[in-house]
Amino acid sequence: MTEIELAVPNKGRLREPTMDMLRKAGIIPIDLDEQALYARTVDPEIRLVFVRAADVPKFVEEGVADLGVTGYDFVVDSGADVEELLDLRYGSAKIVVAVPESSGIASIDDIPEGAKVATKLVNIARKFFDERGKWVEVIRISGAAEIMPHLGVSQVVVDVMSTGATLKTHGLRVIHVIMETSARLIGNRESISRKRAKVREIVMAIESVMRAQGKKLIMMNVPQEVLSIVTMILPAMAGPTVAKVEAPEPMWEVYSVVDEDEVYRVVSAVKKAGARDILVIPIERIIP
């Protein structure tokens, strides 16, 4: 029997990173169809629900889904009363105010009263301009915001910016950053209380994936005479693990978890110290 309904984006920039994260956490769909609204997972108590990222907060607030993954910008814009469980640290972007390069507008103060602002994030945009005492006409759109000034729909856009390349390509310039956003795991407050054990199990699984990001497992064989040198070189979360190897000469197997950006330096150093048969292995999950 399904205990947890987990809402995930059905498309867009958060879809694939979310599915990848869930697979690594062991929440693997077993009957996934691109057109399906639901998918069972290898855990019979968890079912995925596929909806628009913008709709996830309301689905979770109303209890249609117990948990959901969506952008923080959508959570804020919806005003949904949900609990944020995790910042998933992917899908990072900024919500910005942008204008055409040719507009002559250099700041928020330069935007004329009554200017039209095109955006999908209507509530964020309205609150931003209201707090600055700037009267504008906020227009809700469903298509690409960056094209709206060129179509004459608006003079200003409020949009999500990852790298800025798309805005620049369309001749737009950022004049203000409203907020930063990233993917979040959110929960229905009643579900979190009523299904506490299962929710905690899912959170722990996802946390273990996050903890493993940017980490590698380094394994090697180390002769007895250089063991102390190699173990001093190796960084580790709780010290390197050492086990005796049955070999003609005194030999030890040593392995340690290393930050990805330290792998080159560590491998070079332990190799120079006398380590052999060095393996560098990806890590999917770290559970303390």
Q: Which of 18, 12, 65, 69 is nearest to 209 (CA)?
A: 18
Position 8 pLDDT exceeds 80: yes
- Rounded to an integer, what distance in angstroms lies between the CA atom of residue 31 and that of residue 38? 9
Smallest CA-to-CA distance from 218 within 197, 237, 246 is with 237
69 with 9: CB under 8 angstroms? yes
- Residue-wise pLDDT tens digits, 164-175: 899 999 999 999
Q: What is the pLDDT of residue 249?
A: 84
Nearest to 216 by CA among 266, 252, 173, 277: 266
Fold adopted by 4-90+182-212:
D-Maltodextrin-Binding Protein; domain 2 (3.40.190)
**Residue 137 confidence (pLDDT):** 96
What is the CB neighbour count within 10 angstroms for residue 146? 20
Task: Give pLDDT, residue 142.
Answer: 87
Residue 32's pLDDT band (cuts 50, 70, 90): confident
Residue 238 has pLDDT above 70, yes or no: no
Domain segments of the chain as ranges: 4-90+182-212, 93-181, 215-282
The reply to whether 4-90+182-212 and 215-282 are identical in fold is no
**215-282 belongs to CATH 3.30.70.120:** yes
pLDDT over threshold 70, residue 237: no
Per-residue pLDDT of 90-125, as tens digits, reads 999 999 999 999 998 999 999 999 999 999 999 999
CB 108 within 8 A of CB 165: no
Identify the CATH number of the domain defined by range 93-181: 3.40.190.10
What's the rounded mean pLDDT across residues 77-99? 96
pLDDT at residue 235 is higher than 90: no
Q: Is the pLDDT of residue 183 over 80?
A: yes
Evaluate whether 60 touches 66 at the Cβ level (below 8 Å).
yes
